[in-house]
Structure 1
Amino acid sequence: MSGGDAADFAAFERRGWAARSTTYGEGFGAMTAGVHPALLDAVGAAPGTRLLEVGCGTGRLAALALERGAEVTATDAVPEMVRAAAAALPGARVEQAALPGLPYPDGRFDAVVGAFVINHVPDPPAAAADLHRVLAPGGRLALSCWDALAANRAQGLVFDAVRAVGGPAPTGLPGAPFTRYASPEGLGALLGAAGFTGVRVERARWRHRVEPAAWWRHVLGGTVLTAALIEGRPAEEVARIRAEYLRLAAPYTADGLPVAALVATGARG
């Protein structure tokens, strides 16, 4: 991706998340919390751990880290998210900062966590290198990203509904730079190339119980690229996509939507 394309992608993402700063946490953000304990376990978050969270959103993961006694610095690239997180995290240092380009000295933190942020950055290799830089020797990293849509049905059902209805995609949507790394092998290679040692990528699975109609609202209010793929269509197409999604989601009402993520861990040697 060229520098101009990367800048366009970053601006698109920031506009989208700014518009969702008041709707993300209650729906989509609640679903992502299923992976938070695994991330904090992987870095050994405990009393006194100097922990950095990147892409903190509205602060749910940082709050759990505070409960474990960690000394938390929570960052997000979007000012609206930073304000929301600061209000929810009186015990943390909450700052605006983007990946790459973290405003911290080398070796500042014992642990770094990021829940579904690496898949939103404009330059994944530079972001991974920046995360390695701010870790102290021996420090631990844990990142999550989404698994394939065939397993991650909480999102896959929406894409299935879009495909079933058909029609041209809205114009002007940027490509996601992370796509080439969105596999266990790709994510592991990304961290290895940044200098992390002992890299492991494991799959995480959980169920998210929510009424299908509510989840439709949460997807639109808690995603950027996915929401733009839907909202940029004519109203009649959007209505057809929603109806098809509700049909596909109905069998999952009782047991919840299957959610699937990749969790990557590594250390700075």
Structure 2
Amino acid sequence: MSGTDFAEFERSGWARRSGTYDDGFGAMTARLHERLLDAAGVTRGTRVLEVGCGTGRLGAAALARGAVVTATDAVQQMVEVAAEALPGARVLRAELPGLPFGVGEFDAVVGAFVINHVPDPAAAVAELCEAVRPGGRVVLSCWDTLAGNRAQGVFFDAVRAVGVTPPADLPGSSPFARYAAPADFAALLEEAGLREVQVEPVGWTHRVDPARWWQDVLGGTVLTSSLIEGQDAPTVEKIRAAYDDLVGTYRDGDEVALPVAALLALGTRVVAGEDAVEHVTNQEPR
């Protein structure tokens, strides 16, 4: 699948889920928002760009800190939802890469679980690096391995247990998949020109009714839900039965306690001339 086709797959998928994402899957991802803002150094008066704003939860948290927020999303339906949720922010539709901002326009750039949805991660991070001022930070998150991120892993394990064939028009993986490990994620940021790069594993527990979580993932993801909903009805029933068995191992009373695992990456844009100074400092003596 080409980058253009992948971008269209993502846009159309999220457009259909703009009304079902926030209360379920979106609420789970929001557990990382305060840590993202802390890592970016967001306080009162900070000029923040949020990319992939979705329904506006992260932007709302930044506004609550007194930040000056600009929020973007590639999906018009999400932009409309976010605009209602963020009356004090500038909200606009914009692709990543392809943002309409000047060099160094922001003090910080944040993106919660968006880098794994873009067609060209390297170009996207390079653009985010350019949008932040010298000394400002770019902070991004992505999902960790399915072995650790059981909140999503149980779905893929259920599909595998049934032995289904993915729909022919489904992307095999995200273009970001090659970077979805700490060292590779760090290299992606460094190659874009960011310095003082750190990639930290983070985790939490998502407690939820298992039947509700099945609906939340189908209504709040694109690739995972398309993999399941692209099957015929009897196969979906088999996947659901396998999911019920797998998720049952995490039962805690009436709910399940599912481990969630992610990677939090941050980097700082260097001050003009710093790269050259660093290069000279690190040269071997002659």
Same fold (TM over 0.5): yes
1:124, distance to aligned residue in structure 2 (A) = 0.3
Pick the aligned partner of 1:197 from 190, 195, 198. 195
Matching residue's letter, 1:65: A
Provide the secondary structure at the position in 2 that maps to 1:107: coil
Distance (whole Å) between structure 2 residues aligned to residue 12 and residue 185 of structure 1: 28
Equivalent residue number for residue 211 of structure 1: 209
Is 1:30 matched with 2:31? no
Query: What count of residue pairs does the alignment treat as equivalent?
Result: 266
Matching residue of 1:256: 257
**1:57–1:85 CA contact under 8 A, matched in 2:** yes
Question: What stretches of structure 2 of length at least 5 have no aligned partner?
Answer: 271-286
Contact 1:146 1:152 in 2 (8 A): yes
1:123 has 2:126 as partner: no
Q: Which runs of 5+ in 1 are unaligned?
A: none
Measured after TM superposition, the shift of residue 168 of structure 1 is: 1.5
Taking the TM superposition and a 5 Å limit, the aligned residue runs for 1:112-261 are: 112-175=109-172, 176-254=174-252, 256-261=257-262
Q: Distance in 1 between matches of 2:19 and 2:40?
A: 29
Divergent runs of 4+, >6 A: none
Match of 1:84 in 2: 81
Q: Secondary structure at the match of 2:2?
A: helix
Distance 2:61 2:210 in 1: 27
Instruction: State how far apart, in whole Å, the 2-side matches of 1:171 and 1:233 are.
Output: 11
In the alignment, what sits opposite 2:273? none
1:187-208 CA deviation, whole Å, 9 max, x = no partner?
A: 1110010000000000111011
Instruction: Answer yes or no: is 1:102 the counterpart of 2:103.
Output: no
Normalised by the length of structure 2, the TM-score is 0.92
The normalised TM-score by structure 1 is 0.97
The 8 Å contact of residues 8 and 174 in structure 1, kept in 2 or not, is answered as no
CA contact (8 A) 1:211 1:253 kept: no
Question: In structure 2, what residue type is equivalent to 1:126?
Answer: A
Rounded to whole Å, the distance in 1 between the matches of 2:259 and 2:207 is 9
SS of the counterpart of 1:69? Answer: coil
Q: Tell me the distance in 2 between the aligned counterparts of 1:167 and 1:180.
A: 24
User: For 2:154 and 2:234, how far apart are their aligned partners in 1?
Assistant: 19
Quick check: which has more Rg, 1 or 2? 2
Q: Which amino acid aligns with 1:17?
A: W
Which secondary structure state, in structure 2, belongs to the residue aligned with residue 99 of structure 1?
Answer: coil
Local SS of the residue matching 2:208: coil
Alpha-carbon distance between aligned partners in 2 of 1:200 and 1:19, rounded to the nearest angstrom: 35
Identity, in percent, stands at 64
**Offset of residue 132 of structure 1:** 0.4
Preserved CA contact (<8 Å) 1:149 1:156: yes
**Local SS of the residue matching 1:209:** strand
| Residue from 56, 70, 85 that aligns with 1:59 | 56
Distance 1:157 1:174 in 2: 20
Distance 1:124 1:231 in 2: 27
State the SS of the aligned residue for 1:102.
coil
Corresponding residue number in structure 2 for 1:47? 44
**AA aligned opposite 2:262:** A
